[in-house]
Amino acid sequence: MSTAAPVVVAVVEDLMFLSRIREAARGRGVEVRAVRTVEAALEAARAGARLVVVDLDSPRVPGLDVVAALRAEPALSALPVVGFFSHVEAERGREATRAGCTTVLPRSAFVQRLDGLLGDPIR
């Protein structure tokens, strides 16, 4: 039996949201690996991540590209991916669903459901 903590990859630049994710994860014994490129997200996911969280509004890290890259790799194609976005960018949410996000939420709903999202895929 492994004693390593479950890993969540966070493709999140916004330090406020990254802090919230880390705080919620700490309470569940989950390790958060923050990344800022598609390549780093793939590498972290390949290393055994149980969930990927993607900020779909990031100006520097194209969230939809991250989702597409994850879905293109057979070993990662079923990995749960949660994308969050500004509620005023509803089309971005629809695009993320089409790209393969498992769960797509406006930021406010993401914050409200964060604890459950971190726990559900890891059980």
Fold of 7-122: Rossmann fold (3.40.50)
- Alpha carbon 92 to its chain's center: 15
Summarised one tens digit per residue, pLDDT across range 21-39 is: 999 999 889 999 999 999 9
| pLDDT surpasses 50 at 123 | no
Portion of the chain with pLDDT greater than 90, in percent = 72
| Spans of all domains in the chain | 7-122
Separation of alpha carbons 10 and 24, rounded Å: 13
What is the pLDDT, as a whole number, of residue 1?
A: 43
* pTM score: 0.90
